[in-house]
Chain A
Amino acid sequence: MTRTARRQMHLAAHFPGVNSTTVWQDPRSGSQIDFSSFEHLARTAERGLFDFFFLAEGLRLREHKGRIHDLDVVGRPESITVLSALAAVTERLGLAATVNATFNEPYELARRLSSLDHLSGGRAAWNVVTSSDAFTGENFRRGGYLDRADRYTRAAEFVATARELWDSWTPCGRARPFAHDGRHFSVAGEFDVRRSPQGHPVVIQAGDSDEGREFAASAADVVFTRHGTLESGRAFYADVKRRLAAYGRGPDELKIMPGVTFVLGDTAAEAQERAAEIRRQQVSPQNAILALEQVWGRDLSGYDPDGPLPDVDPDPGGELAQGRVRIGDPLAIAAQWRALAEAKGLSIRETVIETSGRQSFVGTPQEVAARMAEFVTREAADGFILVPHLTPGGLDDFVDRVVPLLQERGAFRTEYSGTTLRGHLGLPVPVWNSGRP
Chain B
Amino acid sequence: MMHLAVAIDHPGTTDPRPYVHAARLAERGRLDFVTLGDAFGPRTPRESRIDALAVLARVAPATERIGLVPTVTTTHTEPFHVSSAVSTLDWVSRGRAGWAVDVSPGETAARLFGRRPAAPDDVLWREADAVADVVARLWDSWEDDAEIRDRATGRFIDRDKLHYVDFQGPGFRVRGPSIVPRPPQGRPVVVVDATAGPARGTAARRADVALVRIGSADDPQQLAAVRAELHDSARAHGRNPRHLRVLASVPVALHTAADAVALADLAGRWYEDGAVDGLHIRPEQPGRDLSLLVDGTVPVLQHRGLLRRFHPGGTLREHLGLPRPANRYAPARETA
**Is B49's beta carbon under 8 Å from chain A?**
yes
**Is A58's beta carbon under 8 Å from chain B?**
yes
Among A79-87, A237-245, A291-299, A422-430, the stretch in contact with B: A79-87
Partner of B156, one of A24, A80, A107, A169: A24
CB-based A-B contact count at 8 angstroms = 191
Q: In the complex, A397 Cα to B142 Cα: how many Å?
A: 34
Flag A64-84 by CB within 8 Å of B: 1 or 0 each.
000110111111111011101
Pair B15/A139 contact, Cβ less than 8 Å: no
Partner of A77, one of B51, B92, B155: B92
**Is A60's beta carbon under 8 Å from chain B?**
yes
Question: Least Cβ distance of A43 to chain B in Å?
Answer: 11
A residues in contact with B158, CB < 8 Å: 70
Pair B58/A85 contact, Cβ less than 8 Å: yes
Pair B58/A88 contact, Cβ less than 8 Å: yes
Pair A81/B53 contact, Cβ less than 8 Å: yes
Query: Beyond A78-B88, A81-B89, is A284–B154 a contact (Cβ under 8 Å)?
Result: yes
Pair A61/B162 contact, Cβ less than 8 Å: yes
Among B177-185, B203-211, B249-257, B260-268, the stretch in contact with A: B177-185
Query: Beyond A78-B85, A78-B87, A139-B80, is A35–B61 a contact (Cβ under 8 Å)?
Result: yes
Instruction: Report the count of interface residues on A (CB-CB < 8 A).
Output: 63
Partner of B40, one of A108, A114, A141, A185: A108
Nearest opposing residue in chain B for A116, CB measure: B54
B residues in contact with A115, CB < 8 Å: 14, 50-51, 54-55
Q: In the complex, A186 Cα to B115 Cα: how many Å?
A: 8
**Is A92's beta carbon under 8 Å from chain B?**
no
Question: Least Cβ distance of A165 to chain B in Å?
Answer: 9
Pair B50/A119 contact, Cβ less than 8 Å: yes
Give the contacts of A125-175 with B (CB-CB under 8 A).
Answer: 138-141, 143, 169, 174-175
Pair B54/A112 contact, Cβ less than 8 Å: yes
B residues in contact with A285, CB < 8 Å: 154
Pair B113/A105 contact, Cβ less than 8 Å: yes
Flag B223-243 by CB within 8 Å of A: 1 or 0 each.
000000000000000000000
Pair A88/B61 contact, Cβ less than 8 Å: yes
Q: In the complex, A175 Cα to B92 Cα: how many Å?
A: 33
Among A189-197, A265-273, A326-334, the stretch in contact with B: A189-197
Q: In the complex, A112 Cα to B62 Cα: how many Å?
A: 20
B residues in contact with A58, CB < 8 Å: 179
Give the contacts of B147-183 with A (CB-CB under 8 A).
Answer: 147, 149, 151, 153-159, 162, 171-177, 179-181
Q: In the complex, A139 Cα to B175 Cα: how many Å?
A: 5
Pair A78/B61 contact, Cβ less than 8 Å: no
Pair A139/B174 contact, Cβ less than 8 Å: yes
Nearest opposing residue in chain A for B89, CB measure: A81
Partner of B113, one of A139, A187, A193: A187
Shortest 5 CB-CB distances between A and B: which pairs? Answer: A286-B154, A194-B48, A115-B51, A84-B57, A138-B175
Beyond contacts A25-B151, A75-B181, A112-B54: 16 other A-B pairs, Cβ-Cβ < 8 A, are: A24-B156, A33-B181, A77-B91, A80-B54, A88-B59, A103-B78, A112-B51, A118-B15, A138-B175, A175-B42, A187-B112, A187-B114, A192-B40, A192-B47, A192-B48, A286-B153
6 A-B residue pairings within 8 Å (CB atoms): A60-B175, A68-B177, A74-B157, A80-B54, A85-B57, A193-B14
Taking beta carbons and an 8 Å cutoff, which residues of A are in contact with B?
24-25, 33-35, 39, 58-61, 67-68, 70-78, 80-82, 84-85, 87-89, 103-105, 107-108, 111-112, 114-116, 118-119, 138-141, 143, 169, 174-175, 185-190, 192-194, 196, 284-287
